[in-house]
């Protein structure tokens, strides 16, 4: 627990430049994943296993819109729908890529409303 505290403390107290320290208006790109496919990219990887692993890999990059809202003062603006992005499978035992179908959002601190939801 101690060690974890240090990481969090570093992230929460120190290091400027992270999202919450940015001025209102700037933001970060967030994806909501709607689908996934495996592309063996010539590696001969098993399609069923690849499909399953790409499920994990693509869903891992999916943001949770409620999570963005509940911290307070953040909003999400949709930039694109059903865009396909390609990411490496990143599995030591299998090569290939994952094609994730995503809705793309710009998540940022709201410029209108800096207050935190009551009770949050």
Partner 1 sequence: MRITLVRLLTLLLVPYLVASTAPAEELGRYERSVERYAIPDVVLTNQNGDKVRLKSLLESGQPVAVDFIYATCTTICPILSAGYAHLQRKLGSESSKVHLVSITIDPENDTPPILKDYLAKYQARPGWDFLTGSRRDIDRVMTAFNAYFRDKMDHKPLTFIRMPKDGSWVRLYGLMNGIDFVEEYRQAGNL
Partner 2 sequence: MSRLLIWTLLLLTLSAPATGAVLPSAEEIQRLGARMYREGILPDGQAMKAFVSNDVAVDGTAFTCVSCHLRSGLGSVEGEVVTPPTNGRILYQERKPYIKGKEFVPSVANYAKYLPVRPAYTDETLATLISAGVDPTGRSVLSVMPRYELEDRDMAILIAYLKTLSDRPSPGVGKQEIRFATVIVEGSDPVAVESMVTPLQFSVDRKNSLAKAAGVNERVARMGYNMLGDLHGYTFTLTRWILKGDPATWRAQLEEYDRKEPAFALLGGISPGTWEPVHRFCEERGIPDLFPVVDDPVLSDTDWYTHYLSRGVRQEGEAAARYLHGMVELIRDRAIVQVIRDGRRGRALADGFRTVWAETGHTPAVDIVLPAGEPLTAEALRQAVAGHKPAVLILWDDAGLINPLGELMADPSRPGMIVASATWLGSAATTVPEALRAPLFLTWPYRLPQDDKRYDIAARKVLAGKRPDKYDQVILRQSYITQDVLGRALMMMRGEFYRDFLLDTIGMMEDMYYPLYERVSFGPGQRYASKGCYIVQLGKGENPQFEKRSEWVIQ
Site residues for partner 2 per CB under 8 A: 1-13, 15, 18-21, 46, 49, 52-53, 56-57, 59-62, 64, 66-68, 70-74, 90-94, 116, 119-120
Interface with partner 1, residue 55, by CB under 8 A: yes
Q: Which is nearer to partner 1, 43 or 59 (CB)?
A: 59
Interface with partner 1, residue 72, by CB under 8 A: no
Rounded to 5°, angle at Cα 67 from 66 and 73: 90
* Dihedral (CA of 76, 81, 87, 89) sign: positive
Closest CA to 59 of 96, 106, 98: 98
Interface with partner 1, residue 35, by CB under 8 A: yes
Q: Which is nearer to partner 2, 21 or 82 (CB)?
A: 21
Closest CA to 25 of 120, 113, 112, 109: 109
| Residues forming a β-bridge with 37 | 99
Residues that bind partner 1 (CB under 8 A): 33-35, 48, 51-52, 55-56, 59, 62
């Amino acid at each position: 627990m101690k060690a974890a505290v240090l990481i969090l403390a570093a992230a929460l107290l120190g290091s400027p430049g992270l999202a919450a320290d940015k001025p209102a208006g700037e933001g970060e790109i967030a994806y909501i994943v709607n689908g996934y496919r495996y592309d063996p990219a010539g590696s001969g990887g098993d399609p069923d296993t690849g499909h399953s692993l790409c499920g994990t890999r693509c869903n891992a990059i999916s943001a949770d819109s409620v999570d963005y809202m509940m911290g307070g003062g953040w909003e999400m603006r949709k930039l694109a729908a059903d865009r396909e992005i390609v990411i490496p499978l990143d599995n030591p035992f299998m090569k290939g890529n994952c094609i994730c179908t995503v809705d793309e959002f710009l998540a940022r601190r709201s410029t209108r409303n800096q207050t935190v939801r009551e009770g949050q």
